[in-house]
Copies of this chain bind each other. A is one copy, B any other.
Amino acid sequence: MAKKPDGHASVTLKDVASRVGVTTAAASMALSGHERISEKTRDAVRKAADELGYVPSSAGRALRKQRAGAIAVVVPNTSQHVFGHLYFMHVLTGVASAANEHDSQLIVSTNPDEAHGVVAYERVMRSRTADGAIVTSSAIDDPNIEALVKTGLPVVLIGNFPYLPDAVSVGIDDVRATEAITEHLIDVHGVTAPVHVTGTLDHQTGVDRREGFLRAVRAHGLDETSHIIEGDLSEASGAAAVEQLLADGIRFDGIVFANDDMALGGSRVLRSRGIRVPDDVAIVGFDDFGLARVATPALTTVRVPAEQMSRFAAEQLFRLIDGSAQGPTHHELDVELVLRASCGCEHDDTEHVIPLRGEKPHGNDMQRSISQ
């Protein structure tokens, strides 16, 4: 048995082979079910492996096969505040299940700090610790992402990246979704003075959701009575946005927040000022990662299929790794409108879900919608 520095013995193929009296090569073939090994030997080897508790060394195998047997989920450090924590849980759940199905390990790679210089996740790739990477919630102009894509290593981005035409990515149609939920406020609830509180505008989602709001507003001739305030996706910035609206004496009867966290912050301020939601002001969010449903009033929002999205991204990544797919591609998943109390549709304990198919492709040809 091989001795590890800390004194633990680990069982190697050599141990299995010598117990049976064959070479390691034969033992290896026996375990992989190679047909040139007799059934008798195969069984003996497998029995020995079982008894000894043999598990192949991932390092030995990785070195020989030139494949790590792992994929990485990359989280740029700058994104700490970009999505709420729950988004990332959904991503992890989706990627983990795909990784399990492919007998692959899952590595979570964050950038310790920006100053640290060498980008941690590029090291992960170059050191071949992972065979490929899924990158989530990165800024529009993150040069590291661009560099990573350019290396030609297997990388799948979650989100929309119009400035990275060579990338493989998976996202949703933020423009269309925000347009739809804004139209809902206008058409169904008679909102005539809508406000949009944006996300961070260095992220494509922020830009796209703003664009969706603008399209709906323009289509309904509400340009004059609508307003846009910049937020940063934090609850505090949602609260600040509403306080600013009130301080500026702006008239508004509906707010489209670019995410749920901000909607919650805004809702709190409205309530504290005695403004009723949805009676005085209808509000909606975006994400539905968990907070929206338990809020009071429950929040009408766009449900982002984060888990399916990341699961699909992982499957796509495995296809890149094994060569059965090639980039560049962009795939889009459908989202749902989840109608609850905050827009005036439902009571606090009920919800109504409307599928929103991606019928209005935009940007490039490769897009297509995937039914879930």
Contact = CB atoms under 8 A, between A and B. Distances in A.
Interface of A: 2, 4-6, 8, 10-11, 53, 55-60, 62-63, 66-70, 85-86, 88-89, 92, 96-97, 100-101, 105-110, 112, 120, 123-124, 126-129, 152-154, 235, 264, 268, 272, 290-291, 294-296, 321, 323, 348-349
B66 A92 contact: no
Q: What's the dominant secondary structure at chain A's contact region? A: mixed
14 contacts: A2-B66, A4-B67, A6-B154, A55-B123, A58-B68, A58-B129, A59-B63, A63-B63, A69-B129, A70-B129, A85-B86, A86-B86, A100-B110, A105-B129
Contacts of A5: 66-67, 323
A5 B65 CA distance: 9
Contact of A57 (B63, B109, B272): B63
A96 B121 CA distance: 13
Given A6-B323, A100-B110, A109-B106, A127 B349 contact: no
Nearest to A321: B6
A127 B89 contact: no
A53 B147 CA distance: 13
A105 B106 contact: no
Given A6-B323, A106-B107, A264-B294, A128 B86 contact: no
A278 to B, nearest CB: 15
Contact of A108 (B108, B123, B152): B108
A260 to B, nearest CB: 10
A89 B57 CA distance: 30
Contact of A124 (B10, B105, B268, B294): B105
Contacts of A152: 8
Contacts of A272: 348-349
Contact of A291 (B92, B154, B294): B294
A184 to B, nearest CB: 24
A152 B6 CA distance: 10
A212 to B, nearest CB: 26
A58 B128 contact: yes
A59 B128 contact: yes
A58 B72 CA distance: 14
